[in-house]
Structure 1
C-alpha cells in the first residue's frame, strides 16, 4: 500500500529589526577586552528579549571599509544602544553621529563613568562596572523596557531624540545611490589602498618597505588565531561575530607597529 506523502510545511521566519550597538571593544582604563565581551553579551540578551537582533554597527554581511559601514548602520538601524563607559573617543564620535540623525538612541554607562556635559540632558541607564549579577538582572529589565518604549515614542508625531533641546533644528540625512558591483569593488580597493598609504606616515613603521613585513605578520596572526581556536577562514567570512576576538588577537600580536585600530580592522577584513 502506497504511503501518501504529506505536504512539507515550511516555517517562514520574520526577520527581526536591528538594534545597533556602539561600545568599546578593546582594553581601556581597568576594563579588559574580556570585560567588554561580557558587556556585549548582556546587551545582546536584553536586545533579543525586546524582540530585536543585536548588531555591532561596524558589522555587515559584506566585506567593506569599516568607516562607511559604521555610518550606514548608524543611519539605518531602527534603534541604537551606545555604551559610553570610559568615554571611549570612537564611541562618543559615533554617538554624536547617531544623535545628529535624530533617530531612536539609548545611552548606557557603568557606575564609574561621569556624565558628559553635551549628552547629560539625555537619560543614561546605569549598570555596575563589576557586573554584579543581581544589579545586572535589574539593568537588563530596565533596558528591555527602555528599548520598547523608545521605539514606540519615536513613532509619535513630532518626536525627536536630541535636537529638540537646541531649538528648531533639522536632522542630518544621507543620500544613497546605486552603483555597479565593479564600481563598488573598485571603491573598496581604493579605500584599502588609502589605509595602506596612511601607514607610510606612521613613525612606528619607519621605512615604507616595512609595510610588507607588517602585512605578513597580520596574515600569520590570522592563521595562528584560526589554528588556536579551531576557526576556519570560511567561518570568519560568513559571520562577523567571530571577528572581534580576532581583531583583539591580531592587535596584541602587532602592538610594536602601533597601527591605528580602524586601519588594522580594514586590513584584516580585506585579507579575509
Structure 2
C-alpha cells in the first residue's frame, strides 16, 4: 500500500571540493546517503519519499519550489553546509510548514542557533553494521518531527512570526519566462566556462577504495543485505576497472536492487554495478 503522506528531501547533490577528502566515497557520497539512508528512513516513517531534483548552481527551479510548498514534510540535510539547501530551508520556513532537520557527524557547526532546532545527527560512514539502526532511529526522528509540528513550522513559535509567505497563484508572463531562460542560459555558459578551465585530471579524479576485499567484502555485503531485509545470498563479486559483477541467489525488488547497488558502489568504489541472478 502506497504511503499517503509525502516527504520532499532537500540535501547536497554534490560534495564540495573543500570537504571531499572527508568522505571515503568522494563525489558520490551524498547519492549513497540518499539511497542507503534517507529514502529508506523516510519510507519506514510512513512517507512517500520525493528525492532532490537536479539543479544548476545558480538557479532554484520552479519544481523544487512547488515541492517545498505542497509536500506534507521536508527532510532537510544540512551536511556540508550547502547554500541551496539553506535557501530551500528558508523558503519552507517562510511558508510555515513542517521541516525535519538532519546533518552528518562530520558537519560540526551549523551557522545559526541549533539549540532551538531538534537536529538528528547520522553517521556519514554508512557502515553496513550501523545502517539498520541508523534507518530505524532516523525514521523515528522523522515521525516525531512531523507529529510535533501539528502541520506548522516549529521555528515560528520561537521567533514569534505572524505573516506567512504565499505562493504566487497567477501564470508567469512572457517577460518572466524570458528572464528565466536568460538566467538558465547564463548559468549554463558559466558552468561550461568553469569546465573548460579545469584540467582532465580534476574531473577524472575520484576516491577509490581497495577493491581487493575478498571474503571479508562478501561478508560485509551480506550483512548489509540482511540488515535491510534483502533476502538474497551474494555468491561472488568481481571487480574489473570501474565495474562490479555481482552473482546472487534470490529475487529482489527494484528498490532493494537500487539500495544494494548504491552500497556496492560505495564499498568497492565503482560506478557501474551489474547483477546476475543464479539458480537456487
Tell me, yes or no, whether TM beats 0.5: yes
Identify the TM-score tier after normalising by the shorter chain: 0.5 to 0.7
Deviation at 1:204, TM superposition (A): 6.9
Asked if structure 2 preserves the Cα contact closer than 8 Å seen for 1:58 and 1:66, the reply is: no
Deviation at 1:192, TM superposition (A): 2.8
Aligned to 2:139: 144
Aligned in 2, Cα 1:188/1:18: closer, same or farther, shift over 3 Å? farther
- TM-score, normalized by length of structure 1? 0.58
175, 180, 192: which one aligns with 1:191: 180
Cα distance in 2 for partners of 1:76, 1:91 equals: 17
Deviation at 1:17, TM superposition (A): 2.2
Asked if structure 1 preserves the Cα contact closer than 8 Å seen for 2:11 and 2:52, the reply is: no
Aligned in 2, Cα 1:113/1:187: closer, same or farther, shift over 3 Å? same
Aligned to 2:76: 82
Aligned to 1:40: 34
Aligned runs of 1:44-55 on 2, under 5 Å? 44-55=39-50
Asked if structure 2 preserves the Cα contact closer than 8 Å seen for 1:80 and 1:106, the reply is: yes
Aligned in 2, Cα 1:155/1:123: closer, same or farther, shift over 3 Å? closer
Task: Give the strand-richer structure, 1 or 2.
Answer: 2
Is it true that 1:173 corresponds to 2:162 in the alignment? no
Cα distance in 1 for partners of 2:113, 2:63 equals: 24
2:39 match: secondary structure: helix
1:82 match: secondary structure: strand
Structure 1 unaligned residues grouped into runs of 5+: 1-12, 60-64, 211-228, 230-240, 242-272
Cα distance in 2 for partners of 1:58, 1:203 equals: 18
Asked if structure 2 preserves the Cα contact closer than 8 Å seen for 1:100 and 1:172, the reply is: yes
Deviation at 1:176, TM superposition (A): 2.1
Is it true that 1:163 corresponds to 2:152 in the alignment? no
Aligned to 1:23: 11
1:102 match: secondary structure: coil
Q: How many residues align?
A: 188
CA distances 1:145-183 after superposition (whole Å, capped 9, x unpaired)? 222222223337xx5421211124333221323x4xxx7
- TM-score, normalized by length of structure 2? 0.56
Aligned to 2:118: 123
The farther-off stretch of 134-143 and 69-78 is 134-143
Asked if structure 1 preserves the Cα contact closer than 8 Å seen for 2:3 and 2:47, the reply is: no
Aligned in 2, Cα 1:134/1:15: closer, same or farther, shift over 3 Å? closer
Aligned to 2:220: none
2:9 match: secondary structure: strand
Structure 2 unaligned residues grouped into runs of 5+: 197-242, 244-257, 259-280
Aligned to 1:133: 128
